[in-house]
Amino acid sequence: MSVEEFARRFDASDEARFHRHRGPLRPRRRWA
């Protein structure tokens, strides 16, 4: 899996999680 693919997938899942519940998540886009 390439970094771009991972970043895209991670960003999408993190986005959904972030909007669902603003809990103790790891910082969004820590290396974007």
- The model's pLDDT over 1-32, given as tens digits with 9 standing for 90+, comes to 688 887 788 777 766 666 665 655 566 666 55
What is the structure's pLDDT at 9?
A: 81
7: number of Cβ within 10 Å: 13
The type of residue at 17 is R
What is the structure's pLDDT at 25?
A: 59
Q: What SS3 state is found at 9?
A: helix
Q: What is the Cα 22 distance to its own chain's centre?
A: 13
What is the structure's pLDDT at 3?
A: 83
What is the structure's pLDDT at 8?
A: 81
What is the structure's pLDDT at 29?
A: 65
What is the structure's pLDDT at 21?
A: 58
Residue with tokens 């959904």, as numbered in its chain: 16
What is the structure's pLDDT at 12?
A: 72
